[in-house]
Amino acid sequence: MTSPHRPLRADATRNRAALLAAAEAEFTERGLDASMADIARRAGVAKGTVFRHFASKEELIAAIVAGHFRALSEYARALDDASDPGGALVEFLAEAAGGQAHHDLSFLQTLTEGDSSVAAARDQLHADVERLVARARDAGAVRGDVTGTDVWVLICAPVHATGYVRDPAPDLWRRYLAIIVDGLRPAGAQPLPVPPPTWP
């Protein structure tokens, strides 16, 4: 978590939040090449302030990614006591995709493999997904040969698919989520040709 080594000053907390929001917006608009200077400008602070809060661009990205992982993790856990495990899994996937449809930051994920706080948040989220999938599988809503990691790697697929059409409808990702979910169901499933990947 964010180590409360010393409580931040009031303006520092404000600036940090503004920076994270600005960075998120800038990264979604300009991609990985969004510059620290632009992020600072958008947050209404000087360039130096960015580097006071985040020692490097990588660290800023890591903070964003870890934040998203943690938020999704919380959402997943809230679904733990759902009465319909199959529906819960789909609802989780929809939440994940819905967030990406608004701010697709999946391309930042690979850049932060080294960061330990990201790794922790990621592993936690993966465990949450694994649990959702296990319940859905036990309930017969998901085919038996599909693992949590399989679902994990497919999370971004619906939104990425929409990236290949011009001016996609804002909820087009639901169409591809539906297709993939149908592929995860037991009905009409053909045997899978390759063993599942191990985690990590």
* Helix residue ranges, H only, the chain: 10-30, 36-43, 47-53, 57-78, 85-102, 106-109, 116-138, 148-154, 157-162, 173-184
Q: Judge contact between 95 and 139, C-beta under 8 A.
A: no
Q: Which stretch binds a second copy (CB under 8 A): 15-23, 46-54, 130-138, 178-186?
A: 178-186
Per-residue contact flags (x/-) with DNA for residues 29 to 48, judged by CB under 7 A: ----xxxxxx------xxxx
Q: Which stretch binds DNA (CB under 7 A): 4-12, 62-70, 85-93, 118-126?
A: 4-12
Near DNA in 67-126, by CB under 7 A = none
In this structure, which amino acid lies at residue 97? Answer: A
Is 8 a binding residue for DNA by CB under 7 A? The answer is yes
Backbone angles phi, psi at 146, to 5 degrees: -105, 135
Q: How far is the CB of 42 from a second copy (least distance, A)?
A: 23
> Whole-angstrom Cα distance, residue 128 to residue 144?
18
User: Which of 104, 95, 99, 96 shows the shortest CA–CA distance to 29?
Assistant: 104
Contacted entry of DNA, a second copy, none for residue 160, CB cut-off 5 to 8 Å set by kind: a second copy
Is 163 a binding residue for a second copy by CB under 8 A? The answer is yes
> Whole-angstrom Cα distance, residue 172 to residue 164?
11
How many of the chain's residues bind a second copy (CB under 8 A)? 46
Contacted entry of a second copy, DNA, none for residue 140, CB cut-off 5 to 8 Å set by kind: none
Q: Judge contact between 34 and 26, C-beta under 8 A.
A: yes
Is 141 a binding residue for a second copy by CB under 8 A? The answer is no
Q: Judge contact between 78 and 88, C-beta under 8 A.
A: no
Residue number with CB closer to a second copy (49 or 162): 162
Q: How far is the CB of 140 from a second copy (least distance, A)?
A: 12
Q: State both tokens at 110.
A: 């690979």
Is 191 a binding residue for DNA by CB under 7 A? The answer is no
Q: Interface with a second copy by CB under 8 A: which residues? A: 32, 109-110, 146, 149-150, 152-154, 156-157, 160-166, 168-169, 171-172, 174-176, 178-190, 192-197, 199-200
